[in-house]
């Protein structure tokens, strides 16, 4: 099994979580990132998608993350379907683990909204229904 960290539409109960489940994904844990990331709501959709960008120490925050595990063949199929400007890199999590996970290319931030202040995608989405 290969671990992958997700921060947005692939979280449990969210719009794209079914893609993880279809590839045999199993939720391992919920954990925040180290405080070296900024979270953005990307332009476009649907579905709405976040972009996680690693930044310099002191310039970011901890972001709510779920770590899923996929069988190797399911991981390959899952990663092959990820559209630009998103990609897979190595995340730094507060529990000391470094699973693969979603990151955004800086070019993908044109027209994006910085939503780091919410601490995670769920809190951002919840704010849209109360606004």
CATH number reported for the structural domain that contains residue 28 in this entry: 3.10.490.10
Full residue range of the structural domain in which residue 79 is found = 2-130
Residue 9's CB is within 10 A of a number of other CB atoms, namely: 19
Q: What is the rounded radius of gyration, in angstroms, for the C-alpha atoms of the chain? A: 14
47: β partners? none
Over the stretch 21-59, which tens digit does the pLDDT of each residue have? 999 999 999 999 999 999 999 998 777 899 999 999 889
Over the stretch 83-101, which tens digit does the pLDDT of each residue have? 899 999 999 999 999 999 9
Domain count, the chain: 1
4: β partners? 68, 100
- The pLDDT of residue 131 is 54
What span, in angstroms and rounded, lies between the C-alpha atoms of 87 and 58? 24
pTM score, whole prediction: 0.92
């Amino acid at each position: 099994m290969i671990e992958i960290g997700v921060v947005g539409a692939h979280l449990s109960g969210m719009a794209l979580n079914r893609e993880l489940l279809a590839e045999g994904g199993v939720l391992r844990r919920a954990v925040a990132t180290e405080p070296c990331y900024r979270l953005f709501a990307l332009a476009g959709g649907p579905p709405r998608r976040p972009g996680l960008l690693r930044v310099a120490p002191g310039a970011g925050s901890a972001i709510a993350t779920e770590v899923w595990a996929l069988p190797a063949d399911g991981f390959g199929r899952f990663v092959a379907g990820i559209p630009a400007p998103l990609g897979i890199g190595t995340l730094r999590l507060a529990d000391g683990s470094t699973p693969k996970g979603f990151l955004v290319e800086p070019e993908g931030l044109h027209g994006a909204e910085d939503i780091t202040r919410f601490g995670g995608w769920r809190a951002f989405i919840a704010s849209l229904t109360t606004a």
